Amino acid sequence: MTTAQRVVLPDSVRTNGTTPNPWWSNAVVYQVYPRSFQDSNGDGIGDLKGITSRLDYLADLGVDVLWLSPVYRSPQDDNGYDISDYQDIDPLFGTLEDMDELLAEAHKRGLKIVMDLVVNHTSDEHAWFEASKDKSDPHADWYWWRPARPGTTPGEPGAEPNRWGSYFGGSAWEYCPERGKYYLHQFSKKQPDLNWENPAVRRAVYDMMNWWLDRGVDGFRMDVITLISKRIDSAGRLPGEYGSELEDLPVGEEGYSNPNPFCADGPRQDEFLAEMRREVFAGREGFLTVGEAPGITVQRNEHITNPANGELDMLFLFEHVDFDCEDNVKWKPLPLDLPQLKRIFAKQQSAVKNAGWASLFTGNHDQPRVVSRWGDDSTEGSRVRSAKALGLMLHMHRGTPYVYQGEELGMTDVHFTRLDQYRDLESLNAYRQRVEEAKVQSAESMMAGIAARGRDNARTPMQWDGSAYAGFTAPDAAVEPWISVNRNHTQINAAGEFDDPDSVYTFYKRLIAIRHENALVAAGDWQLIDADDQYVYAFTRTLGGEKLLVAVNLSGRTVDLPRDAAELVQHGVTEPDIVISTYDASHAVVSLANRELGPWEGAAVRV
């Protein structure tokens, strides 16, 4: 841990609320996807003991917090985002004792652990849902049960309460013969939405959260937490339901309407989050809350993360990873429009200038690998250079950076070519629906779309070394990993990068250290330079009388520095001015003197 070298940020860093300068304002979070991180028992699936065995690696990298994707008991329909018991560990991953051990070993190394909290929905195998099927049970109203449309046959097409589609394909409603009603599921039909209107549901969730915090976890990453409050009419009816005062939207090309405008950031969002803060976090210290926030505007991000409002510490916004596709269809990827990306980040950064906070990410378990998406993984040289450039670009913003496992190695997309290589229900359902049922995309184009955007790109095993299964599971394990290891693990792996001064790993280590050591990077005001430049992403950070120029060439050609950036370095810079650069510092000095940047060259320099 680097606590000793840490700067104490000036309190003026956050003048906006009740907790100036919280501990996480210069922390870096690392996301572990347990299923794919480290297998300790040769069953081909990563587990808690595996994570514990790799803590020294994470401590060396220098991150402060680990966010674990869900390890609770689950039928694994959506890899654990479908929870059947919140207060137990799935046997696939280990036991509660393994979790206690992981917590203790992490804390020994100064690492905090944040768990995923999936409470927009449970699994359909959760005891609450089982009980809810009985209309006389106290849990009867814990989910969104609705009758079939009058005059239809329940279970037949067209009988659904409204036209909403699920994010994982098909209708968002599933008929349950036992209850004689439909239930709402925004995600898979094994992920029924909880009814947050019911105070008993909220009480149960808060009790469960308190139980984990008492056990030693340091906070929560809250899965789709901005979908919990649904828009309903005066009689509690959802849009488009029979007799509802609210209409749903017209149907799209797959035959369903989009529930998001009615479920995202709903009318009781602030009330629920503030209640959770009071019921769970009041009187506790040293925790972190981060909400996954589809459908949230930058203004609302400011409100929710302003400590004065007592809701969440930070949110994940998605516009910057959702815009680079055609007609809003994830499976029709477009190349990066850099000016557009800059505008989106600028909007996010400016909105939290005076109040609230930003989280910074380009990768997670739902996104393709950033080096393949916006960088260039076609040669080893361009892969290393572009991975560093993208890391520098992100980490020099103001906010809390998140590193997704393997990103620090410059891990790439997996480039699968056959459907049977994929495991993710989202990709498999989307293929069936778009290619076979609605016939709105050709097989070839859809395969290309999944290869570019499918979530399995992020979920292939962590590449620890060049051995048969990349060190993820024993090379002689009887069972193959649950999803294939990327073939490039023989070249790209932690063992090869660990001691290499020029590796992506070593570069990320430095990026993380800089956030701890440098108040300008952690807290300085952010200002974009030349929004329209197609190749260079440049901005400044200022704090007190100090100024940092960050300029990153996000292209594989040599390009001119934008004029306003060139002006800041017109009197030249020296090596000591270079805080970090993707080539070496002496190269950056020459490039900046020539007012240019080499392929994927980037630097942060005091001016």
Cα separation values, 161 from 148, 191, 433, 598, Å: 5, 18, 21, 58
Separation CA 134–CA 595 (nearest Å): 71
What SS3 state is found at 164?
Answer: strand
Q: How far is the CB of 45 from Ca ion (least distance, A)?
A: 4
Q: Does 366 bind ligand GLC (CB under 6 A)?
A: yes
- Rule CB under 6 A: is residue 114 a binding residue for ligand GLC? no
Which of Ca ion, ligand GLC, none lies near 385, with the C-beta cut-off 5 to 8 A by kind? none
- Given the residues 223, 265, 377, 407, select the one marked as catalytic: 223
Q: Which does 47 bind (CB under 5 to 8 A by kind): ligand GLC, Ca ion, none?
A: Ca ion
The interface partner of residue 43, options being Ca ion, ligand GLC, none and the CB cut-off 5 to 8 Å by kind, is Ca ion
Q: Which of 90, 265, 292, 377 is catalytic?
A: 292
Q: Quick one: which of 213, 363, 181 has its CA closest to 287?
A: 213
Site string for ligand GLC, 215-244 (x = CB under 6 A): --------xx--------------------
260-299 residues in contact with ligand GLC (CB under 6 A) are: 292
Tokens 């009480």 belong to 203
Closest to ligand GLC by CB, 35 vs 388, is 35
Strand partners, 596: 560
Q: CA-to-CA distance for 272 and 120, rounded, in angstroms?
A: 12
**CB 118, CB 223: distance < 8 Å:** yes
Closest distance to ligand GLC from the beta carbon of 459 (Å):
10
Least distance from ligand GLC to the Cβ atom of residue 288, Å: 17
How many Å apart are CA 29 and CA 6, to the nearest integer?
A: 16
Q: Are strands 145-146 and 536-543 parallel, antiparallel or unpaired?
A: unpaired
Q: How far is the CB of 223 from ligand GLC (least distance, A)?
A: 5
Residues near 167 by beta carbon (within 8 Å), at least 6 away in sequence: 186, 187, 426
Q: Is 85 a catalytic residue?
A: no
Nearer to ligand GLC, 226 or 486 (CB): 226
The minimum distance between CB 63 and ligand GLC, in angstroms, equals 20
Cα–Cα distance between 473 and 58 in angstroms, integer? 18
Q: What DSSP state is assigned to residue 148?
A: P
Q: How far is the CB of 366 from ligand GLC (least distance, A)?
A: 5
Q: Which of 67, 81, 422, 526 binds ligand GLC (CB under 6 A)?
A: 81
- Out of Ca ion, ligand GLC, none, what residue 39 binds, judged by CB under 5 to 8 A for its kind, is Ca ion
Q: What angle do CA 458, 460, 465 make, to 5 degrees?
A: 115
In whole angstroms, give the CA distance from residue 324 to residue 485.
27
Residue 604 phi, psi (nearest 5): -115, 125
Q: Tell me the three state secondary structure of residue 421.
A: helix
Of 393, 386, 436, residue with least CA distance to 412: 386
Residue 81, contacted partner among Ca ion, ligand GLC, none, CB below 5-8 A by kind: ligand GLC
Nearer to Ca ion, 101 or 525 (CB): 101
Active site residue 223: yes
Q: Contacts with ligand GLC in 381-440 (CB under 6 A)? A: none
**Residue 538: C-alpha distances to residues 10, 343, 569 (Å):** 25, 12, 13
User: Which residue is listed with tokens 């004029």?
Assistant: 563
Question: Measured from the CB atom, is 317 or 589 closer to ligand GLC?
Answer: 317
> Considering only residues 179-198, where is the footprint of ligand GLC by CB under 6 A?
187
Other C-beta atoms closer than 10 Å to the C-beta of 190 total 23
**Residue 45's binding partner out of Ca ion, ligand GLC, none, with CB under 5 to 8 Å set by partner kind:** Ca ion
* Interaction partner, residue 453 (ligand GLC, Ca ion, none; CB < 5-8 Å by kind): none
Site for Ca ion in 20-79 (CB under 5 A): 39, 41, 43, 45, 47
Among 83, 103, 118, 550, binds ligand GLC (CB under 6 A): 118
Does 456 bind ligand GLC (CB under 6 A)? Our answer is: no
Nearer to Ca ion, 43 or 125 (CB): 43
Query: Are 136 and 229 contacting, i.e. CB atoms less than 8 angstroms apart?
Result: no
Structure token digits, residue 506: 């070593």
- Alpha helices by DSSP H, listed for 221-328, are 260-263, 269-276, 298-305, 319-322
Binding residues (CB under 6 A) for ligand GLC: these are 78, 81, 118, 187, 223-224, 292, 365-366
Binding residues (CB under 5 A) for Ca ion: these are 39, 41, 43, 45, 47
> Which of the residues are catalytic?
223, 292
